[in-house]
Structure 1
Amino acid sequence: MRLKVIAYSILIFLTVLIQSTIADFIKIYDVKPNLTITVIVCVAFRRNAIEGAIVGFFCGLMQDAVSGRVIGFYALLGLYLGLIIGRSNKKLNKENALIAIFLTFVSTIVYEYIVYFFTTVFRAPLDFIYPFKNIILTEAIYNSVISIIAFIIVNRIHKRFEEFEKNSRRY
């Protein structure tokens, strides 16, 4: 248990650190990837709903702290994203990276539309086509490509957890 907390804490910290520093330099068409979505989806898909929700909550909370906006908005989005992906993974092959890529693509679209809706609902008229064409679709494709790397990292962490649990049951 302690190993999971340490590993997930390091993963979340590094993800948010890279998201807030290096991601600005790897923009494509002025769109940077949302690494927290990829990590939340990969952890929830590979592990389970509870771990996905916990990682989602803390990724979102760290993102809230870095962004300087309302504390809790991204935390709730991350929590629900991790919970929904974790619940849907029971009938899916957890070893298949293509499923994780597809889930990342769809999750990015839904996540960013929710962010767009709540950040513009009271300020401007809603236009769902413009942000999709110019921001959300590019970010979804970008996140899907990056989810391959995130899936490999989370998969290695998952295998280490399984080995540790298997070895600790012997004694």
Structure 2
Amino acid sequence: MVRVLVTAILIMISFLLQTTAFKMLALADVVPNLLLIVTAAAGYMRGRVEALLVGFTCGLLVDCMYGDVIGLYALLFLTVGYLSGYAHMIYFKDDYTLPIFLIGASDLLYNIFYYIISFLLRNRLNFLFYLRRIILPELVYTLLVALVFYKLLHSINGLLERFEQREG
């Protein structure tokens, strides 16, 4: 129960930071995707099922606030969370390289899926423009923020695991 509450608080704080503070700190008109960092980190540290639930919750939150169609972002985050959950099998507590790589791959996959659903199906075929103006700047910015934010998430996960071991 404590983990669910802490995860919900992390999702809300990440959403608020992404939509307020980082909007003011936008570089090249993009903001880092903190909800994607939370989703990929949940997949890496906790597995597919928890990442699927975290991704669905993050996506539903974005859908309710900004989406034209309810479910698009939920599907994207859910998919990214589930796929990143496969990396849980090779989870090492002291490794920071693999999760950062995983977050970068998740952001790239998320943006490519978003391009396909939102632009390609509407016959907007200028992928190189979208890659250069949106995908790559967001990828770099998300990775820079992930270097700090993942360490915080990793520390919180360690505290929760110690708490769960004492309780159980």
1:26-65 CA distance string (max 9 Å, x none): 1111111111111111121122111111111101111111
Match of 2:6 in 1: 7
CA-CA distance at 1:133 after TM superposition: 1.4
| Residue identity in the other structure for 2:150 | F
Q: Partner residue of 2:24?
A: 25
Distance in 2, matches of 1:50 and 1:123, equals 33
Q: Distance in 1 between matches of 2:141 and 2:93?
A: 22
Indicate yes or no: 2:54 matched with 1:55: yes
Q: Could you state the TM-score of these two structures normalised by the residue count of structure 2?
A: 0.93
Structure 2 counterpart of 1:73 = 72
CA contact (8 A) 1:20 1:66 kept: no
Contact kept, 8 Å, 1:42 with 1:147, in 2: the verdict is: no
Deviation above 4 Å: which 4+ runs of structure 1? none
Corresponding residue of 2:148: 149
Q: What's the CA shift for 1:89?
A: 2.6
Distance 1:106 1:86 in 2: 13
SS at match of 2:122: coil
Matched ranges for 1:1-171 at <5 A: 2-169=1-168
Q: CA deviation at 1:126?
A: 1.4
SS in 1 for 2:28: coil
Structure 1: unaligned runs, 5 residues or longer: none
By how many angstroms is 1:23 displaced?
1.8
For structure 2, list consecutive stretches of 5 or more residues without a partner in the other structure: none
Per-residue CA deviations over 1:82-139 (Å, capped at 9, x if unaligned) read: 1111112312434311111111111111101111111113434312211111210111
How many angstroms does 1:76 deviate by?
1.3
Percent of aligned pairs with the same amino acid: 31
Q: TM-score, normalised by structure 1?
A: 0.91
